[in-house]
Amino acid sequence: MKTDIFLQKTSNLFAQNRLLKFAISVMAIAVIFNSIMVYRAVKYQRVVLIPPTMTGTVEFTHGKPTDVYIKDMSRRIVGLAATYSPPTARSQFEELLAFFAPETYPQASTSWYSLASRVEESQVSSVFYLEKIAVSEDFIEVFGNFKQYAGDTLIENSSKTYLIDYRLEDGRFYITSFKEKLTQRQEQERD
């Protein structure tokens, strides 16, 4: 770049200084424009997931999923927890424990591995036919027909409702508790 267009050295320095100021101003405007565009891209981004066994696309907008995602996760969790046989119980319960929140994992692992041992010892299998899912802000209510077998003999055939307490943290689904909802008659018998 030739900036010696003036006879005086100071005039050439001032011209060079103006040119550098112009270049820095253009770069600053480009950085500001780029920052605004990156902010908009991050703010309005949508993450679309299609995990295995999901029925459709799952969208997270501003960290909150659609109800379809919650219902699909409920189906998967209830399938792992309530439909099992002696050869599959332990592996299913291990997969189920991956959904539990870190603070509830120790207690959950103790109870689910205990159940797996009882299932393997007594050769009991069960199946849960899902009928209805009700989603609320921090828990899911799952209703269906539960059948339990010892060998080929039907032991139990009843309607059951499971309550799944959950939370979403950074888009990840965590179970905080999984329990059976007792009917009023069962609560009276228990007392």
pLDDT tens per residue, range 62-77: 667 777 788 888 888 9
pLDDT class of 51 with cuts at 50, 70, 90: low
Q: What's CA 90's distance to the chain center, in Å?
A: 23
Percent of the chain at pLDDT > 70 equals 82
Tell me whether residue 161 is in a domain: yes
Q: Is residue 175, in this structure, part of any structural domain at all?
A: yes
Residues 130 and 151: their CA atoms lie apart, in Å, by 22
Please name which of 79, 80, 82 lies closest in space to residue 95, comparing C-alpha atoms. Answer: 80
Domain that holds residue 129: 66-190
Please give the structure tokens belonging to residue 13: 């320095």
HSE toward the beta carbon, residue 1, CA cutoff 13 A = 7
Q: What pLDDT was estimated at residue 100?
A: 93
Question: In what helix (H) or strand (E) does residue 191 lie, and over which residues does it extend?
Answer: none
> What's the whole-model pTM score?
0.67
* Residue 25 resides in a domain: no
177 belongs to a structural domain: yes
Find the CATH number of the domain harbouring 93: 3.10.450.230
In a domain, 82, yes or no: yes
Is 53 part of a structural domain of the chain? no
Q: Is residue 116 part of a domain?
A: yes
Q: Is residue 6 part of a domain?
A: no
- By DSSP bridging, strand 139-150 and strand 153-169 are antiparallel
Structural domain count of the chain: 1
